[in-house]
Structure 1
Amino acid sequence: MRSISFALTLGLATSSTFWPPSDELEDESACTDIGIDGSLSEYRFSLAMPNTYENDYSDTIFHPLFASSSLSGDATDDSVTSAVVFIHGLAGDANTYFCDGLDISPEGVLVISPWFGDAQVTADDWGGWGGSTNSTLSSADVLSTYWTSSNWVKGGDASPGDVTPSRYTTSFDVIDVLIQQLSDLKSSGNFKNLERVTVNGFSAGAQLASRWSIFSKYASNNEDLDLDFEVRTIVADGSSYVYLDETRPNDSCTTLEDTGKTHTCSSFSTPDVDSCSSYNEWKYGLDFSDLSANVYLEPFAADPNLLTSQISTYVNNPKIYFLFGDSDVCNCNYEGYSNPQVSATCYPSGTSCSPNDFGGSLNGVQCCDTYPDTGSSNALAVGCEEMLQGSNRLQRGINYMAHIKELGGNFTWGFFEGGHSNAAFYAGDEFSAWAFE
């Protein structure tokens, strides 16, 4: 575990009194619990986002993130040997993920947590403009990326603001640019001993990380990039995944109950399209008929050969890892699902989760399907697109690994002990080995 005194000496940014910019960052307990100022003023940095898509906009846009050392080229840290990127869930609580990352990371690890936030801020409000830019704007005028919906989990375009244009950049581009920035900083000597970058995502963050790893040349360690370090991806407990053909697990693989971590699936077929016509649309599959908010994917939609090549690269990528909570098996909002009648699993005391249409209660406690990440919200997606992949997160994850195997791939994957818990994910031996060793 990293000592807090080490973390506090790194990455000073300009302090700002504008905090928090969104309710997503309001809970500061994970930071104060480890002795860090909850506003994280020393850890806020601005990542310049290039105008990749040649939008008619001449000024700089930045992505807000937290980092344990400066990413602006104004500091040198020879102790950094690896970087771990912690991607938050649907709640947008990047500060919590950053401080959790600091708490569990050993010495020599650069901890980074990008904020795919729901509010647009200026660089001045975030903590000052720290990136190189040709813009003549002051930090009070440089604007951030942000997303007014959950479109960021599928690599979607950043939302247009009063000045910021639409289709300027995407959440996939944020991860690409971050890795390229780390490569540039290694080349310039700022992190000359950096050997590995690990991108990990939990829950909604897992959805982003897993989808990004399919299409990004950075995730596939493309030799043309000349990164001079290894890139890994760790995915945990996503609510859905991208299937790479038109088949889905057969009914025997998606029974409405906890089938445990010994669950297997070896039977796939094309589902009844009439009952779920959208099952193969992006973000669930490779139907790219509507990419109005996903400019990153347009080259793959336009070139079937490029798409085929990318899929082959993905399923054979030895640096992609999956982990699943062995008790992430609750479903409170699908009629007919049989939740384990175990208090600590789906009906934990002290919680009150909603909506709860079909989960009922046990000993006076309502069903919770996203505990302990939250004790108030049930967030497992139960649309027909998700239910065709499995009836709970654990089952969906195992089914997806079987799907990859059907396509000739063989990702490294395993389990951690716990429910829908990023803390349990980080505490597992596999995460430690894959992220830090």
Structure 2
Amino acid sequence: MNKWWLVLLITCTSSQAADHGVRDISPGRLLLKEGEMAVGIGPAPATIERVLIIVHGRLRNAETYRKTAEHAAEQAGQASTTLVIAPQFLNESDVALHPLADTVLRWQGNEWMAGGLSTAPFALSSYGAMDQIIGRFADRQQFPALKEVVIAGHSGGAQVVQRYALLGHDQPELDAAGVRVRYVIANPSSYAYLDERRPVAFSHAGCGDYNRWKYGLADLPAYAEGQTPATLEASYVKRDVIYLLGQQDIDPNHPALDKSCEAKAQGANRLARGRSYFEYLKRDHPQGLNQQLIEVPGVGHDGDGMFTSPEGRKALFGQ
């Protein structure tokens, strides 16, 4: 049995629907330095060539995204070599609703989305949690056949993945092991820009936070300590990033769309915002940009539709 399973504590947690907090707590527990991370995890293949880490959005419905990722792997014929992991960033309202051990990590509200610190059992940035999860795959004794780690998210999860791709710490051990890392960002409401330029004219006086984190690089979280906008940009453009955009994700009134002035300065809808962001990167980095945009025809704001489409499978599995 792969040693990976030795660091998972599987528990059976019953859950009931509620008006606040998540309905389902993921059953897995992944041991990090600061506590246990709730995770959903798929069956471990005998030979693991790819790890697909799928990040949920504001609903924190990790199991839904785990199932989508497993479905996409099956459709792509990659289930026999892909391990799917869905970390669950629980918050205080979830802990109030469900019987959870004090050792399980939790955050306040949605602060985990922007790299905020956990409230218990110890302080850990949500991005630091991602670092620890990803970093363990450099162990060639446990994962001798591993070729790549793919970090993907849709909607709110895509916001997390885009910002983690920008701020995330380097993983020299993975590089030394020859393991590639790819980020797949599907239909986020907004992006973190690298300077003060925006594609849409707006009132700076009436939108003072447009360049603050999470929309820009002012007032970065503690996780980014020591980094400057210049160093972050230099690192980000070299990372393997795919922006996956649904061509029908064009509703400016979509209920889950960020309609703040900070987001509207990036475009009228998700498709426009994604196209504008990619063009912005290409203008400034016509030579050294290690990123691409893939559009999915006929699909709107639908995570399952995005990742199981032919274009989504190409982004996730390199097909």
Normalised to the residue count of structure 2, the TM-score between the two structures is: 0.85
Corresponding residue of 2:188: 238
Note the 1:399-410 alignment, pairs <5 A: 399-408=276-285, 410=289
Candidates 237, 248, 251, aligned match of 2:198:
248
Shift of 1:222: 4.7
Q: CA separation of 1:395/1:118 partners in 2, compared to 1, >3 Å: closer, same or farther? A: same
Corresponding residue of 1:48: 31
Residues 159-193 of structure 1, C-alpha deviations (whole Å, 9 max, x = no match): x24xx24xx21111121111111223xx22x2211
Aligned letter for 1:297? A
Shift of 1:14: 5.7
Note the 1:264-279 alignment, pairs <5 A: 272-279=203-210
- The count of residues paired between Structure 1 and Structure 2 equals 301
Residues 68-97 of structure 1, C-alpha deviations (whole Å, 9 max, x = no match): 257xxxxxx541111111111211100111
Aligned letter for 1:182? F
Q: CA separation of 1:48/1:227 partners in 2, compared to 1, >3 Å: closer, same or farther? A: farther
Q: CA separation of 1:113/1:65 partners in 2, compared to 1, >3 Å: closer, same or farther? A: same
Candidates 369, 372, 388, aligned match of 2:265:
388
In structure 1, the gaps of 5 or more residues are 1-9, 28-38, 51-59, 71-76, 127-139, 252-270, 333-368, 370-377
Shift of 1:425: 0.9
Note the 1:195-274 alignment, pairs <5 A: 195-218=147-170, 222=172, 226-251=176-201, 272-274=203-205
| Aligned: 1:315 with 2:288 | no
Corresponding residue of 1:113: 86
Corresponding residue of 1:194: 146
Q: Distance in 1 between matches of 2:143 and 2:112?
A: 29
Shift of 1:388: 0.5
Query: Is the contact made by 1:78 and 1:191 (CA closer than 8 Å) also made in structure 2?
Result: no
| Aligned: 1:327 with 2:254 | no
User: Could you say what secondary structure the match of 1:100 adopts?
Assistant: helix
Q: Distance in 2 between matches of 1:22 and 1:193?
A: 40
Q: CA separation of 1:223/1:18 partners in 2, compared to 1, >3 Å: closer, same or farther? A: closer
Shift of 1:394: 0.7
Corresponding residue of 2:295: 415
Runs of 4+ deviating beyond 6 Å: none
Candidates 269, 281, 287, aligned match of 2:212:
281
Note the 1:38-187 alignment, pairs <5 A: 44-50=27-33, 60-69=34-43, 78-105=46-73, 106=78, 107-119=80-92, 141=102, 143-158=103-118, 160-161=119-120, 164-165=121-122, 168-184=123-139, 187=140
Normalised to the residue count of structure 1, the TM-score between the two structures is: 0.63
Q: CA separation of 1:14/1:296 partners in 2, compared to 1, >3 Å: closer, same or farther? A: closer
User: Could you say what secondary structure the match of 2:212 adopts?
Assistant: coil
Aligned letter for 1:110? L
Shift of 1:224: 8.2
User: Could you say what secondary structure the match of 2:143 adopts?
Assistant: coil
Query: Is the contact made by 2:135 and 2:174 (CA closer than 8 Å) also made in structure 1?
Result: no
| Aligned: 1:296 with 2:223 | yes
User: Could you say what secondary structure the match of 1:329 adopts?
Assistant: coil
Query: Is the contact made by 1:89 and 1:203 (CA closer than 8 Å) also made in structure 2?
Result: yes
Which has the higher mean CA deviation after the structures are superposed, 168-177 or 205-214?
168-177
Q: CA separation of 1:65/1:227 partners in 2, compared to 1, >3 Å: closer, same or farther? A: farther
Note the 1:340-419 alignment, pairs <5 A: 369=254, 378-408=255-285, 410=289, 411-417=291-297, 418-419=299-300
User: Could you say what secondary structure the match of 1:174 adopts?
Assistant: helix
Query: Is the contact made by 2:200 and 2:264 (CA closer than 8 Å) also made in structure 1?
Result: no
User: Could you say what secondary structure the match of 1:144 adopts?
Assistant: coil
Q: Distance in 1 between matches of 2:23 and 2:305?
A: 23
- Name the Cα RMSD after superposition: 2.7
Query: Is the contact made by 2:138 and 2:174 (CA closer than 8 Å) also made in structure 1?
Result: no
Q: Distance in 2 between matches of 1:298 and 1:313?
A: 15
Shift of 1:61: 1.1
User: Could you say what secondary structure the match of 1:232 adopts?
Assistant: strand
Q: CA separation of 1:279/1:231 partners in 2, compared to 1, >3 Å: closer, same or farther? A: same
Instruction: Calculate percent identity across the aligned residue pairs.
Output: 26
Q: Distance in 1 between matches of 2:174 and 2:71?
A: 35
Shift of 1:125: 5.9
Q: CA separation of 1:79/1:17 partners in 2, compared to 1, >3 Å: closer, same or farther? A: closer
